[in-house]
Amino acid sequence: MRATLPGAASAMLPRPQLVVPLTRVPSRPAVTPLGLDEVVFAQMINSKDTQYVGTIGVGRPPQVLSVILDTGSSNLWVYSSRCNATACLRRPSYDHARSEAYEYPNTYVGPRRTLAQRESHDTSGVRGHDFYIRYGSGGVAGHFSQDSVQLGAMSLPGHIFGEVMDVRGEAFNFGQYDGILGLAFPPLALPGTVPVLDALASSTLLRHAMFSFYFSHAADGHPEESRSRFMLGGVEPAYAASAFNFHKVRDSSYWELQLDDVLLDGKSLGLCRPRNASLTLEQQAQQPAATGGCRAAIDTGTSMITGPSHAAETLADRLNVEPDCAVVSHQPTLTFVIDGVAYPLTPQEYALRFRSAEGEQRCVPGLRSLDVPPPRGPLWVLGDVFLRVYYSLFDRGANASSPRVGFARARHPARRSAAARSGDASRSQQPPGLVPQGAPSG
């Protein structure tokens, strides 16, 4: 079921009160990541349209680390200074010996095992004081630590998190992050740990257990582009170009919604079983979820849109994005129908552009196959390609009893050519640090 919150009502949602600027990520090769009544209003960094990271402080005094703020997981982990893996050595890391607040936690479950010995099909687990988390292209392992964790002005004393000592998988070696902060639900968290959002909601720091994401298009942070932002505790209406549509979360582990259908130029591809083709979208929204449709997780830690291999391959063939970016503007409109609400993406929005090693412009669809096994799957994942187009609000609801996700069309400033930006720069005598970084224009 879904509900539309009109513009006037949207303005009644909690507003950001605390602004926290975040550190810019250097432009290096990047791959898809593995996935008080105050609001932390944090600038995010878009690293080559593939990774959005924000900074947190760990320890006392705080050690500043860049993390992926990930709605597709529930754990907080950071690289340890005692980790000798390549991924750890090339990134800033957490040294618990430098923290006055560090404690060895009491978490203990079962016998200890090394990462190489962990052949279970489980995606994560705890053995002894150690933990391990599996991802599609590798995994991380380490031990639990207990220390202060800080987001802006909000501080969680004695929070238990993962200190990573071992890393498997080449993908981590290219990641522009020092850890992952999960924003999903407690069932996905490792035993003996509490997700950061739940810890904040249980304290007096956070009145509203909600957060929102605004993702920019720009990777270079030039002044005319609004910076990406993570807003803890509320929303900023200036980033919404439409009313919010809210959708009930169907499974409180991932932020999972009912996906009715996938359309190209308004026509169903049959990738999700239609509930009843004779019904309008509004009428379909009133039908029980069990009568058909797909499942879709809303995941800020995934750069693209993913789907079961048979569906994603069919969709990619029909999108027919040419590698040389020819006729991109003539490609079909891709639409995801959630609870009877159509969310269209234009070809310019779902096609990813990049420069080849020879400097030539290339295009690929922002789509890939990902087969999530039962019982979690099959599952579609709407990642950053979708979330750049739609400003997203994740709301746990009163007493976490009625979680929901809201989408409004994101308000992006008009993007001008590189030549126009260069002309502005040559005329301006202001130092870059004095250029205004305000909310997007109307």
Distance CA 183, CA 178 (A): 16
CA nearest 264: which of 313, 329, 340, 331?
331
**C-alpha pair distances (Å), 249 with each of 254, 285, 411:** 9, 14, 25
Judge whether 259 and 281 are in contact, CB under 8 Å. no
What amino acid positions are annotated as catalytic residues? 70, 299
Helix residue spans in 203-346 (DSSP H): 281-285, 309-319
Helix residue spans in 219-374 (DSSP H): 281-285, 309-319, 347-350
Task: Give the burial class of 292: count Cβ atoms within 10 A of its Cβ; 0-12 exposed, 13-18 middle, 19 or more buried.
Answer: middle
- Segments of 107-250 assigned E as strands: 124-127, 130-135, 138-151, 154-168, 179-182, 210-214, 228-232, 244-248
Peptide bond into 6 cis (omega under 30): no
Peptide bond into 378 cis (omega under 30): yes
- Segments of 237-309 assigned E as strands: 244-248, 251-252, 255-264, 267-268, 294-298, 305-307
- Provide the pairing of β-strand 124-127 with 341-345: unpaired
Residue 15, token pair as written in the block = 């507003």
Residue 131, token pair as written in the block = 């933990």
Distance CA 311, CA 169 (A): 27
**Start-to-end CA span in the chain (Å):** 31
Judge whether 143 and 112 are in contact, CB under 8 Å. no
Distance CA 77, CA 181 (A): 7
